[in-house]
């Protein structure tokens, strides 16, 4: 088929030597545009050379009444004197219809007239369109054929949104060429807000501002000044004005939130984006162009950090940062808005547990010394922890305590202690979360002289990090353990190592008891020595008088003398081993009887002899 935008060929094969053809309409027809379509249909075979056959298709488009009559002009203006006679040709109107046949036939008629009731003054020929006068005209009765006209003589736009009430926006001139009541005009503004009209003198008006403007609420006003004359019916005129409102910097940038909470993981690379903030400024151009900065006048990253107890309303300074972000526009003067950003640094398990000094050890020691104990103790030599435990110590007695800390927080800093070696049922165990090394059962000599424990301190992070501590526990007698603990305590000030181990409470208590007994014995010895010296100094001059009258009780006797008990005389005090006595033992020597007649002084030995005896 020859090229056509309205038709196409649909070919359907019936058999090898015959085909069915259908002419299909693809686009609506318009008789007024193309009344006849001429097409050429060509058929060709598959031989060599190919032979063809053609035929011409002539398609005529039938008319439908799809076009209305059209006048050659929309307005006809005629000037007619009031003295014109009846039958005077006023005007001839002309209309055409592009359809054909009966569809193009039409007639003319007068539908209405202004003023109402003057329709009978005119008549129109239905075929030719000629309008003729059928009555008498009177200028005084009707002739309000001029609508008011509105002209803008001055326009001051755009109007600043901070313009005061009463500001003149435009000057207007209103006129009506009619006379009398037909020429009297009244004017108003639509819509009535926020502008109004003020009459300055005859035929002149000012468009003034009656209310405050807000560009962010209404950026432009479409104002219409309307005028109406006093005719019957009244004629109207109008003039439209477009009044744009110019922006002033009366809006500060505002953040969507006063406080932003940002969660960020630690170990971020420099320049990594933590959060994205946006402040809205409804102003336009430079007044609405916002720049951002961290406000140095507020709480900066350093000044805003505060530390306290976690869970009591405070957060550790290492995980909490608060600072102010300021958004400033480019207006004159610039306005700004602030928002607080609270940055919470989320912990990552990047710190392994570290052993700590025991409580009470000075920072200069860098570790822990062995405490006094009677049955156990702890310390370290060259990085190896050591402790003592007494044979026979009951199950559950604390031998030492491993102390460690993790610089991370939360689960990453929650530590657990595990006994790595020896595995199985050994004589010791470790508290899972306390780190206390205690006896799992009563100790006996079958456990050997020394036990080596490998303790792993592990956090709950993912992946978990750990540290190891080696504890060497010596099994000794109770007294030896106490003395070893005491010696370790006295020498701890001069040799300490950075290991987190503490003595158990049993060892410290035993060591304290030993020193208490030693102190009591020393004080008692000094007191007894003082009493002996005091008695010797007081009774030395009467040391020769060893017995006196009175009954005595013989305790023991020998060839040199006898010990007697007396409650009446006290000459010499003897203190034996054991508890103190309140009674006295007196020694009376045996002397040979004196010869007859001998003087008494000759028969009594000298005090020095007595003392020697």
> What pLDDT score was predicted for residue 326?
95
Residue 600 included in any domain = no
Domain stops at, among 431, 456, 486: 486
How far is the C-alpha of 279 from the C-alpha of 253, rounded, in Å? 6
Residues 331 and 235 occupy one common structural domain: no
- What was the pLDDT predicted at 112? 82
Strands (E), 149-278: 149-155, 159-160, 168-175, 185-190, 195-201, 204-209, 220-229, 236-246, 254-255, 259-265
DSSP 563-592: EEEESS--------SSS--SSEEEEEE--P
Task: Give yes or no: residues 400 and 340 share one domain.
Answer: no
Q: Which residue has the tokens 């156990």?
A: 376
Determine, yes or no, domain membership for 335.
yes
Residues 6+ apart with CB under 8 A from 232: 115, 144
Residue 603 lies in a domain: no
Asked if residue 285 is part of any domain, the answer here is: yes
Same domain? For 159 and 183 the reply is yes
pLDDT of residue 142: 63
Task: Please give the Cα distance from 407 to 317 (Å, whole number).
Answer: 13
Give residue 581's pLDDT.
43
* Token code pair at residue 170: 């435009």
Angle at 353 between CA 351 and CA 357, to 5 degrees: 130
Residues 232, 282, single domain; the answer is no
For residues 182 and 261, membership in a common domain is answered with no
Residue 113: the pLDDT is 79
Asked whether residue 236 is domain-assigned, the answer is yes
d(CA 246, CA 290): 19
Q: Is the peptide bond before 115 cis (omega within 30 degrees of 0)?
A: yes
Based on the domain organization, do 333 and 398 belong to the same domain? no
Whichever domain contains 47, its CATH number is: 2.60.40.60
Let me know whether 261 and 216 are in one domain: no
Check whether residue 467 and residue 388 sit in a common domain.
yes
The residues, any chain, with a CB within 8 Å of residue 531's CB and separated by 6 or more, are: none
Distance CA 509, CA 372 (A): 7
Q: Are residues 334 and 412 in the same domain?
A: no
- As for how many domains the chain has, the answer is 4
Per-residue pLDDT reduced to its tens digit, 121-140: 899 999 999 999 998 887 76
User: What residues are paired with 340 via a beta bridge?
Assistant: 259, 324
230 and 177 co-located in one domain: yes
Distance (Å, whole) CA 571 – CA 304: 88
CA nearest to 226, candidates 116, 149, 324:
149
Picking from 299, 283, 281, 301, the residue whose alpha carbon sits closest to that of residue 291 is: 281
User: pTM to 2 decimals?
Assistant: 0.46
Q: What is the per-residue pLDDT for 336?
A: 95
- Give me the domain span that covers residue 458: 354-359+381-486
Tell me, yes or no, whether 134 lies in a domain: no
242 plus 157 within the same structural domain: yes
Q: What confidence score (pLDDT) does residue 305 get?
A: 30
How confident is the model over 61-92, as pLDDT tens digits?
A: 999 999 999 999 999 999 888 888 999 999 99
Choose the final residue of a domain: 42, 60, 78.
Answer: 60
Among residues 469, 486, 503, which one ends one of the domains?
Answer: 486
Please state, as a whole number, how many other Cβ atoms lie within 10 Å of the Cβ of residue 596.
5
Pick out the chain residues at pLDDT < 70.
115-117, 140-142, 296-320, 357-384, 478-514, 540-613
**Is residue 55 included in any domain, yes or no?**
yes
Q: Going along 319-397, which residue ranges are E strands?
A: 320-329, 336-346, 354-355, 376-381, 384-390
Cβ contact 342:262 at 8 Å: yes
Residue 241 lies in a domain: yes
Residues 37 and 19 in one domain: yes
């Amino acid at each position: 088929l020859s090229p056509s935008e309205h038709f196409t060929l649909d070919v359907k094969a019936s058999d090898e030597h015959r085909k069915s053809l259908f002419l299909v309409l693809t686009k609506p027809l318009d008789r007024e545009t193309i009344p006849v379509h001429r097409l050429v249909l060509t058929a060709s075979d598959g031989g060599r050379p190919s032979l063809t056959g053609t035929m011409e298709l002539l398609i005529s488009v039938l008319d439908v009444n799809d076009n209305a009559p059209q006048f050659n002009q929309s307005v006809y203006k005629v000037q007619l004197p009031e003295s014109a006679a009846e039958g005077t040709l006023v005007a001839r109107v002309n209309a055409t219809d592009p359809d054909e046949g009966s569809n193009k036939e039409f007639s003319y008629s007068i539908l209405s007239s202004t003023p109402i009731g003057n329709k009978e003054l005119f008549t129109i020929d239905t075929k030719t369109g000629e309008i003729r006068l059928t009555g008498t005209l009177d200028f005084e009765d009707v002739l309000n054929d001029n609508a008011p006209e509105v002209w803008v003589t001055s326009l001051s736009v755009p109007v600043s949104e901070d313009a005061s009430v009463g500001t003149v926006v435009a000057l207007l001139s209103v006129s009506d060429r009619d006379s009398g009541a037909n020429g009297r005009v009244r004017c108003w503004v639509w819509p009535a807000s926020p502008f109004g009209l003020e009459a300055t003198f005859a035929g002149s008006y000012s468009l003034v501002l009656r209310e405050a403007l807000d560009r962010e609420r209404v950026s432009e006003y479409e104002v219409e000044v309307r005028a109406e004359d006093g005719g019957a019916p009244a004629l109207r005129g109008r003039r439209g004005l477009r009044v744009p409102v110019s922006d002033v910097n009366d809006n500060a940038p505002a953040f969507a939130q006063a406080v932003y909470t940002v969660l960020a993981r630690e170990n971020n690379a420099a320049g990594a984006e933590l959060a994205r903030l946006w402040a809205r400024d409804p102003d336009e151009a430079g007044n609405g162009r916002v720049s951002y900065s961290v406000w140095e006048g507020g709480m900066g990253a350093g000044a805003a950090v505060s530390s306290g107890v976690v869970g009591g309303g405070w957060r550790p300074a290492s995980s909490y940062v608060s600072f102010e972000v300021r958004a400033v526009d480019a207006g004159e003067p610039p306005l700004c808005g602030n928002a607080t950003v609270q940055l919470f640094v989320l912990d990552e398990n990047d710190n392994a547990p570290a052993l700590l000094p025991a409580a009470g050890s000075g920072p200069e020691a860098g570790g822990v010394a062995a405490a006094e104990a009677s049955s156990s103790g702890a310390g370290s030599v060259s990085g190896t922890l050591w402790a003592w435990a007494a044979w026979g110590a009951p199950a559950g007695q604390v031998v030492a305590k491993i102390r460690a800390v993790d610089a991370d927080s939360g689960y990453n800093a929650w530590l657990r202690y595990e006994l790595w070696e020896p595995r199985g049922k050994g004589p010791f165990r470790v508290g899972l979360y306390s780190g206390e090394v205690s006896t799992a059962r009563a100790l006996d000599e079958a456990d050997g002289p020394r036990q080596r424990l490998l303790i792993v301190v592990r956090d709950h992070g993912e992946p978990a990090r750990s540290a190891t501590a080696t504890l060497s526990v010596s099994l000794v007698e109770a007294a030896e353990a106490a003395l070893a603990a005491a010696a370790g305590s006295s020498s701890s000030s001069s040799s300490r190592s950075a290991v987190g181990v503490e003595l158990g409470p049993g060892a410290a208590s035993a060591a304290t008891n030993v020193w208490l007994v030693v102190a009591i014995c020393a004080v008692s010895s000094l007191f007894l020595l003082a009493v002996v010296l005091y008695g010797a100094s007081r009774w030395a001059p009467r040391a020769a008088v060893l017995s006196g009258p009175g009954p005595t009780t013989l305790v023991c006797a020998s060839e040199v003398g006898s010990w007697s008990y007396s409650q009446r005389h006290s000459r010499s005090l003897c203190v034996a081993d054991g508890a103190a006595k309140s009674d006295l033992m007196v020694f009376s020597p045996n002397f040979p009887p004196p010869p007859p007649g001998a003087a008494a002084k000759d028969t009594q030995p000298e005090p020095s002899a007595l003392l020697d005896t």
